[in-house]
């Protein structure tokens, strides 16, 4: 009987071994429960240690930050380095008191603070970072800018980095990159009402062809011309576009695998809905803006800016694009291609190119319209959700110079030593459309 008791004791002790020692992911807690409930992460395991309900998961070709937020697992691929990058295996996490730190050693770390949205729930925003000798700190008085210093010089990075749009590869690493990113962000317009998109599920049991631009068969199509979406699966509508022939298309985002997504256009009718809603707002036609940009270095164009960032096309330095707007730190651009080359008269392709790898056309959108500038010369004041051009009152001169004052009193147009000075010009907005 004593021997039987000992045996039973050993069996019971074995049954109470912690789950972390018994699962291949190396996870515990709610994160383990949710990962174990699906087959998506079967080939992954934790690297850098689990921190609270967050962990960096690794497979042969893919790293991803997983986190339980609002009762469900959310994944962030662009927040961490990918396999093949020598820094990827050096990652470590810490997560306490509402702060998540992604670290690659003392010289590179990113600290995110948990915030709360009344409609969407908890999310993380970058508060502080150290990278390549630069220190970033969110301005406590203006959460839409960061103080950046290399120890000698300091300036502002305009913008707000949240975990769902943070891209570690595109984050600036020099003061020159900060200045250039400010310029490009300021010049572009947001192309998407929401980074997430309006979710649709189970539209119908069929597939729809997916094109890279809203022009059907005249547009380039991924997957060797066979890209399609299963309309019975989840997809997200980003915006609608009505082309010159009156055909309406929807830009959608959908999963190809856990390592790949795709952005592309389907005929709006195939979705079977008259409208989609993002954060309480209807998704409208968009991309009325256009500006010319040029690759300032060899780069790439992708149809998957959120997950794989796989380069569908290699972009040589000097390539020109029409930029329709911004998506995070990517420019959404259009061009024509034949095979793997950018050419005139080829198939139309729209996709995403890193904003930091692009320059503005010196004329931005076309020839300067001096005749219009003469008509516009005068004194103006601005009312907006924020300072529009760095000043509230401005005097435009016909010769292309202006002076402005950071004074909300529209009656005060006096030029002082503190006045802001610069240049202005008017160009054709969209020359090919006659605007």
Distances from the Cα of 241 to the Cα of 68, 194, 200, 215, 266, angstroms: 35, 16, 18, 10, 10
| pLDDT exceeds cutoff 80 at 302 | yes
| pLDDT exceeds cutoff 60 at 14 | no
Distances from the Cα of 373 to the Cα of 368, 378, 421, angstroms: 9, 10, 17
d(CA 117, CA 70): 11
pLDDT digits (tens, 9 = 90+) for 46-78: 999 999 999 999 998 899 999 999 889 999 999
Average pLDDT, the chain: 85
pLDDT band at 433 (very low <50, low <70, confident <90, very high): very low
Per-domain residue ranges of the chain: 24-187, 198-282, 291-360, 370-433
Contacts of residue 224, Cβ cutoff 8 Å, sequence gap at least 6: none
User: Exposed (0-12), middle (13-18) or buried (19+): which is 240, by Cβ within 10 Å?
Assistant: buried
pLDDT band at 15 (very low <50, low <70, confident <90, very high): very low
Report the pLDDT value the prediction gives residue 425, as an integer from 0 to 100: 87
pLDDT digits (tens, 9 = 90+) for 305-336: 998 999 999 999 999 998 888 888 899 999 99
pLDDT band at 246 (very low <50, low <70, confident <90, very high): confident
> Which one is the CATH code of 291-360: 3.30.56, 3.40.50, 2.30.30, 2.60.120?
2.30.30
pLDDT band at 427 (very low <50, low <70, confident <90, very high): confident
Report the pLDDT value the prediction gives residue 338, as an integer from 0 to 100: 92
Structure tokens that stand for 271 in this block: 């979705």
């Amino acid at each position: 009987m004593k021997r039987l008791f000992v045996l039973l004791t050993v069996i019971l002790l074995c049954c109470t071994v912690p789950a972390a020692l018994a699962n291949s992911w190396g996870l515990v807690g709610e994160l383990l429960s949710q990962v174990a409930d699906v087959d998506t992460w079967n080939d992954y395991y934790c690297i850098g240690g689990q921190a609270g309900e967050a962990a960096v998961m690794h497979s042969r070709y893919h790293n991803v930050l997983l986190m339980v937020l609002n009762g469900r697992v959310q994944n962030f691929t662009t927040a961490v380095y990918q396999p093949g990058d020598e820094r990827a295996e050096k990652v470590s996490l810490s997560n306490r008191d509402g702060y998540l730190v992604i670290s690659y050693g003392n010289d590179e770390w990113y600290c995110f603070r948990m915030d709360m949205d009344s409609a969407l729930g908890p999310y993380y925003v970058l508060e502080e970072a150290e990278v390549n000798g630069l220190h970033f700190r969110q301005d406590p008085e203006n959460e839409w800018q960061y103080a950046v210093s290399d120890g000698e010089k300091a300036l502002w990075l305009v913008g707000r980095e949240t975990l769902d749009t943070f891209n570690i590869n595109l984050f600036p690493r020099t003061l020159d990159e900060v200045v250039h990113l400010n310029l490009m962000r300021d010049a572009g317009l947001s192309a998407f009402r929401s980074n997430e998109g309006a979710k649709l599920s189970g539209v119908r049991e069929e597939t729809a062809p997916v094109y890279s631009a809203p022009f059907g068969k005249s547009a380039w199509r991924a997957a060797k011309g066979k890209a399609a979406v299963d309309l019975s699966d989840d997809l997200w509508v980003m915006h609608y576009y009505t082309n010159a022939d009156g055909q309406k298309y929807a830009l959608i985002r959908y999963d190809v695998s856990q390592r790949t997504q795709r952005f592309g256009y389907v005929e709006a009718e195939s979705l079977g809905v008259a409208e989609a809603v993002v954060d309480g707002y209807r998704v409208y036609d968009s991309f009325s803006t256009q500006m010319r940009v040029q690759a300032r270095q060899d780069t790439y164009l992708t149809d998957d800016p959120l997950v794989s960032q796989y380069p569908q096309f290699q972009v040589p330095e000097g390539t020109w694009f029409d930029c329709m707007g911004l998506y995070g730190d990517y420019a959404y651009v259009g061009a024509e291609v034949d095979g793997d080359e950018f050419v005139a008269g080829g198939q139309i392709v729209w996709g995403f190119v890193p904003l930091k790898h692009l320059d503005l056309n010196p004329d931005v959108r076309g020839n300067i319209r001096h005749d219009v500038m003469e008509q516009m010369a005068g004194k103006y004041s601005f009312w907006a959700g924020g300072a529009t051009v760095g000043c509230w009152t401005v005097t435009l001169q016909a010769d292309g110079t202006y002076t402005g004052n950071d004074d909300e009193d529209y009656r005060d147009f006096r030029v002082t030593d503190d006045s802001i000075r610069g240049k202005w010009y008017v160009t054709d907005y969209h020359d090919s459309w006659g605007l």
